[in-house]
């Protein structure tokens, strides 16, 4: 009986050891369908027969293949995970970059310390700031500029190339906030001059190669406009969001 128990114990250890050697998927995440969907792929993990896909901690699917597409129309997540069942879990943080820019003023404000221009830089990392017109540098690579504009009492966001300054290195286009967390994936929804109002959100498409098509060199974001003040010039607090974890992805859950 003792020998039988010992054999069972050794067998259990062997099984646990084999089970514990299952590795972790090394996942490649790519935006597809003009940024609406997220394509996940990985090499087979030794010892794993199935994989589980999670969105924000909830299991979405268990599959026996090494490829899965998450459709944004079915749900947008700030954290996506791929688990090799019996092994490790790969985590992809999709929380967008965000930054409060403070109060931004319309372009007709005569005070040069009151900034009207919003600058978004793309490079090793994303950053956003404000500047006055004198601080706009159209020679900076991978840098978007747009202005808070007062068009005879109608508030607007305008991409730099719609102003007298001229062309920058990035096109910025704007769309209505028609669906929470998921930017429109049709280019026809975006415009480079957009009427806006206070206490509103707008999606942004940063076209880095300026070709008018969505691809994986582009970025999507949002601009949040707070309550407006003034009767002309105007001002409003502004916050910028950018999906910086996967280029070309229109998921902006925060």
Q: Kindly report, residue by residue over 193-239, the tens digit of the pLDDT.
A: 999 999 999 999 999 999 999 999 999 999 999 999 999 999 999 99
Residue 156, CB half-sphere, CA atoms under 13 Å: how many?
19
Spatial neighbors of 188 by CB under 8 A, at least 6 apart, are none
User: b/e map of 143-155 (b: 16 or more CB within 10 Å)?
Assistant: bbbbbbbbeeeeb
**Global pTM value:** 0.91
Q: Kindly report, residue by residue over 106-129, the tens digit of the pLDDT.
A: 999 999 999 999 999 999 999 999
Spatial neighbors of 73 by CB under 8 A, at least 6 apart, are 36, 182
Domains within the chain, CATH numbers bracketed: 2-93 (2.60.40.10), 97-242 (no CATH)
Q: Which neighbouring-strand residues pair with 240?
A: 99, 223
Poorest-pLDDT segment among 14-28, 96-110, 135-149, 239-253: 14-28
Q: Kindly report, residue by residue over 137-158, the tens digit of the pLDDT.
A: 999 999 999 999 999 999 999 9
Sign of CA dihedral 149, 151, 154, 157: negative
Residue 13: exposure state from Cβ atoms within 10 A (0-12, 13-18, ≥19): exposed
pLDDT band at 166; cut points 50, 70, 90: confident
Write phi, then psi, for 252 (nearest 5 degrees). -135, 50
Residue 224 corresponds to which tokens in the numbers above? Answer: 């949040």
Average pLDDT, the chain: 93
Whether pLDDT at 245 is above 80: yes
Whether pLDDT at 9 is above 90: no
| pLDDT score recorded for residue 15 | 40
Q: Kindly report, residue by residue over 177-203, the tens digit of the pLDDT.
A: 999 999 999 999 999 999 999 999 999
| pLDDT score recorded for residue 170 | 98
Residue 68 corresponds to which tokens in the numbers above? Answer: 């899965």
Residue 111 corresponds to which tokens in the numbers above? Answer: 């005070």
Whether pLDDT at 12 is above 90: no
Residue 253, CB half-sphere, CA atoms under 13 Å: how many?
13
| pLDDT score recorded for residue 11 | 42
Cα separation, 57 vs 130, in Å, equals: 36
pLDDT band at 20; cut points 50, 70, 90: low
């Amino acid at each position: 009986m003792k020998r039988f128990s010992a054999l069972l114990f050794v067998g259990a250890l062997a099984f646990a050891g084999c089970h514990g050697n299952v590795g972790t998927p090394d996942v490649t995440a790519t935006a597809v369908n003009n940024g609406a969907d997220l394509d996940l792929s990985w090499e087979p993990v030794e010892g794993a027969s199935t994989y589980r896909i999670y969105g924000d901690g909830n299991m979405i699917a268990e599959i026996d293949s090494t490829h899965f597409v998450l459709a944004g129309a079915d749900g947008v997540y700030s954290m996506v995970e791929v688990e090799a069942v019996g092994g490790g879990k790969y985590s992809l943080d999709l929380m967008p970059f965000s930054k409060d820019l403070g109060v931004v003023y319309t372009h007709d404000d005569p005070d040069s310390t009151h900034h009207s221009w919003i600058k978004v830089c793309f490079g090793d990392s994303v950053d956003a700031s404000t500047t006055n017109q004198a601080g706009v540098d159209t020679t900076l690579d991978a840098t978007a500029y747009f202005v808070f504009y007062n068009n005879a009492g109608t508030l607007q966001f305008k991409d730099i190339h719609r102003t007298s300054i001229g062309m920058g290195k990035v096109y910025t286009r704007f769309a209505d906030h028609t669906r929470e967390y998921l930017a429109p994936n049709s280019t026809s929804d975006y415009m480079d001059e957009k009427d806006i109002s206070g206490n509103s959100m707008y999606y942004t498409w940063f076209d880095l190669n300026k070709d008018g098509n969505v691809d994986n060199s582009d970025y999507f974001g949002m601009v949040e406009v707070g309550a407006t003040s003034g009767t002309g010039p105007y001002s409003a607090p502004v916050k910028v969001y950018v999906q910086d974890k996967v280029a070309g992805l229109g998921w902006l859950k925060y």
